[in-house]
Amino acid sequence: MSYRSILKGRYALFAPLMVLLLVAMACGDADAEPTMAPATMAPEATMAPEATMAPEATMAPEATMAAEPTAVPTAAPTAAPTTPSVSGPRLGAKLTVAINSFDNEIMDPHYAGKNVGMFSFNHAHDFMIGVEVDNTLSNAWGWADSWEQVDGSTWDIDIRKGMLDHDGVEIMAEDGIWNVTRWASEEIAGGYNAVSGGWRNIFKDAEALDSHKFRINLLQDYAFVFNIIPPIGGADMYVFPKHSWVDNGSNAEGWEEAGYTGTGFVDMVDRKLGQWALHERFDDYYGDEEFHFKFREMEILLSAEEAPRLAQVATGAVDIANMSGPYVEEIRAAGLTVDGPKAVDVVYLGIYQTFDPGHCTNKLNVRKAMNLAVDAEAIRAGIWPPGLVLPGITAFTSPQDESWNPTLTPYGYDPEEAKRLLAEEGCEGFRFDAYGYDFAAGPEMADMVDAIVTYPHRLGRQLPEGKEPGLQLGRRACLRRRPLAAWRTELRR
């Protein structure tokens, strides 16, 4: 069973970061009878598997390979079978999966960031505006029924009427105002959220226009608001009901104790720190039927090491798990299916200094040189076996942006041209920070980032003898285990 046929790709949060390798049971038993109410199966998604939802695990916590098993909630399954199921997970039953990291496990959707979302917020919560696979804005899911740019610094959002959260409370304009305002708070900007720091710099306030419509006022004109609020370009601006937070102490502990209330296609009902999270299907999910969850339950299991995750799928303990490229042959040798990654994007540039006309990255030739300096094909070939993945290019901008141009193609690899362009623009001496995301969703992401940042150093070494490097790698500024790693890089003569 293809994981991506379980649910249509409703989250594009990781769309530019297509690095997840999934191993799954081969699918048979086409006549298995679902126990749920009939639902139309979603079509194949074209985005990366992690852009759909994070998987779940049927295995009790002992599947984390701990020496002694721990008790599981009453909703957890009995011991997993010792032999693989021929059919994989059955629709209407329970979906089981193992992933490699739960990250910081802070139960605050605004503060914790997208890594925590892989076992929680991606499934039980939502975004203000939905998107399609190509980054087109959509109201098929997401809180907003419609939206409008009034001017460069004013944006109106109309929340769909009749949308109920997991507690049965309707979502109103007040909830929208609370979310966009809290995104900009000092507390949230200091957390693991990838975008709230930038949001804090441009956000002024928000006001209700009626019971379901509210207005966002910015401090300045900003062209990419619809690249921040929806899950585009790595944005992780989750939304959830105001009452569930403020009525429960306005802290993660109180919100967790009250039941993690959200508006997603599942309701998160329980978890055990560092072991598992349990979700149940939310039958009143507001989105189109194709976005409705096709299973009764979903348990997401933490299993940090690669070999145990492979064994858990091979023995039937879980239905699906994320793995790294080097394990492909072992996966196939075990008679299992490699389901992805279908497309891989080498993530490199998100240049926020470009807004400064005095900075070198404001120049097209410099940005082009920074791309030409990195051999994306070699990185893909070095991380994944031949024939497993294809290049997948996802623009940071979107069809609704003035700069959108779907005809653009990748630059390719040409270090000599990169050096020439840097010299032509007089930018051999500028400094910049290169950021790389280390996602729990894709174990290969750290390897990809490590490979990318070696290329500036290689480019420098290719200069004629007696010349100093044209692009020199500097010191890594953050540990790799953090959600965001930064490297100080220098371009110089």
Q: What is the CATH number of the domain that holds 185?
A: 3.90.76.10
Q: Each residue of 417-465: pLDDT tens digit?
A: 998 999 999 988 677 665 655 554 566 776 777 777 777 656 554 433 4
pLDDT at site 339: 81
pLDDT at site 215: 99
Q: Which domain holds residue 17?
A: 3-125+264-341
361 & 486 share domain: yes
pLDDT at site 443: 62
How far is 24 from 297, CA to CA, in rounded Å? 18
pTM for this prediction: 0.71
pLDDT at site 62: 32
241 and 167 in contact (C-beta within 8 Å)? Answer: yes
pLDDT at site 88: 57
pLDDT at site 274: 94
For CA atoms 175, 178, 181, 182, give the dihedral sign. negative
312 & 369 share domain: no
pLDDT at site 444: 72
pLDDT at site 178: 99
- Give the residue ranges of DSSP H helices in 230-375: 242-246, 252-258, 306-314, 328-333, 364-372
pLDDT at site 427: 87
pLDDT at site 474: 29
Count of the separate structural domains present in the chain = 3
Sites in the chain below the pLDDT cut of 70 = 1-89, 233-234, 345-355, 393-397, 429, 432-443, 446, 456-493
In a domain, 318, yes or no: yes
Q: Give CA angle at 42 (40, 46), nearest 5°.
A: 170
Q: What is the residue type of 275?
A: Q
Q: What is the residue type of 182?
A: R
In a domain, 53, yes or no: yes
101 & 168 share domain: no
pLDDT at site 378: 86
16 & 94 share domain: yes
CA 125 to each of CA 16, 121, 122, 129, 424: distance values in angstroms, whole numbers, following the listed order: 21, 5, 6, 12, 49
**Residue where a domain stops, chosen among 227, 255, 277:** 227
pLDDT at site 146: 97
112 & 156 share domain: no
pLDDT at site 255: 97
13 & 102 share domain: yes
In a domain, 246, yes or no: no
What proportions of the chain, in percent to the nearest 5, are helix, strand and coil? 25, 20, 55
Q: Each residue of 256-280: pLDDT tens digit?
A: 999 999 999 999 999 999 999 999 9
Query: 3-class SS at 310?
Result: helix
